[in-house]
A and B are shown apart, each in its own frame.
Chain A
Amino acid sequence: MKAKLFSTSVSADPAHWVAKYADYLYSYAVSRLEDTDLCRDLVQETFLAALERLNDFKGESSERTWLTAILKYKVIDVYRKRNTAWLLSGGSPDGEPEYFESDNGHWKEAYAPQAMGIEGEDATTRKELAGILEKCLKRLPALWFAVFSMKHLDELKAEAICRELKVTPSNYWVILHRAKVNLRACIQKEWR
């Protein structure tokens, strides 16, 4: 009797999932993927996947945490599918300029960083920078956006990001480096 009571108190309650968690899960996905139609589908898929795994829910974490974990894998799957293997191994996307000389690694003259006046970080430039940054982030290949969102939104350490994206640490640094150099170049271009 006691055992039964316990098992009811921790069982999932799918009849109220949408009302309780849909907006939360949807926000989680949108802040990581931006594509709202896709995010809506992912939320639906998350609920259906969770239904099939109801027995896995042991009540050790909250329902919300459990559902978020399922959604998280779906988001990472999107990141991985959107990128061909060469991006994951540290390559750059089509049309991406080579910022450094191939023989000695020096900045190419056309791409060498120039002072923008963002270095001082006063309130006005910070605001302006945020707007440009948002614009430039939208242009990044999904994988590069993913790395930034995992790093800054999920606050994951390098090791955890490598595990989730299934990349080696040395590839991770190359990916992060390329992404940041690209982002900086975009900001410089947009800055006036």
Chain B
Amino acid sequence: MGTIKKIQYNCRHATLLIEKRQEKPLTLKERVQLAIHLAGCSVCRLYLRQSRVIGRALQHLFGRSGERGYTLDEQVKRDMQEKINERL
């Protein structure tokens, strides 16, 4: 298989580049590889759209979980402070 053919059919490589591109700029070689692949692969074009949607959903979900406060039981807290006090 020639190089172009290999890239054309390598969805594993293309989807890795799709993930990488969402975080940092690709090299020229990687950009060309991805463009060639995506031009001929509708499945990876779909993956690209879904991956972005999932990325935004993750951002949203973790953003919310960061704001959510959890509280410890009062008894647990008393025990904790006691353990600290023992060592002071």
Contact = CB atoms under 8 A, between A and B. Distances in A.
Q: Do A and B come from one complex?
A: yes
A3 interface: no
A100 interface: yes
Interface of A: 14-15, 17-19, 22-24, 26-27, 30-31, 36, 40, 43-44, 47-48, 51, 99-100, 104-107, 112-116, 118-119, 121, 126, 129-130, 133-134, 137, 148-149, 151-153, 157-158, 173-174, 176-177, 180-181, 183-184, 187
A184 B69 CA distance: 28
B46 interface: yes
A126 B80 contact: no
Nearest to A52: B87
Nearest to A132: B57
Interface string B52-88: 0110111111110110111110001110110111011
B57 A113 contact: no
Contacts of B6: 104
B29 interface: no
Interface of B: 1, 6, 9-13, 15-16, 19-20, 23-24, 43-44, 46-47, 49-51, 53-54, 56-63, 65-66, 68-72, 76-78, 80-81, 83-85, 87-88
Contacts of B19: 173, 176-177, 180
A105 B12 contact: yes
Nearest to A159: B24
Contact of A23 (B13, B20, B70): B70
B35 to A, nearest CB: 17
B42 to A, nearest CB: 10
24 contacts: A14-B88, A19-B77, A19-B81, A26-B70, A31-B62, A31-B70, A40-B76, A47-B80, A48-B87, A51-B87, A106-B10, A112-B43, A113-B46, A119-B53, A129-B54, A129-B57, A130-B60, A130-B61, A158-B24, A173-B16, A173-B20, A177-B19, A184-B47, A184-B50
B66 A184 contact: no
B70 A51 contact: no
Contact of A113 (B13, B50, B63): B50
Per DSSP, are chain B's interface residues mostly helix, strand or loop, or mixed?
helix
A34 to B, nearest CB: 9
Contacts of B59: 152
Contacts of A118: 50, 53-54
Contacts of A180: 19, 51, 54
Contact of B62 (A115, A153, A158, A187): A153
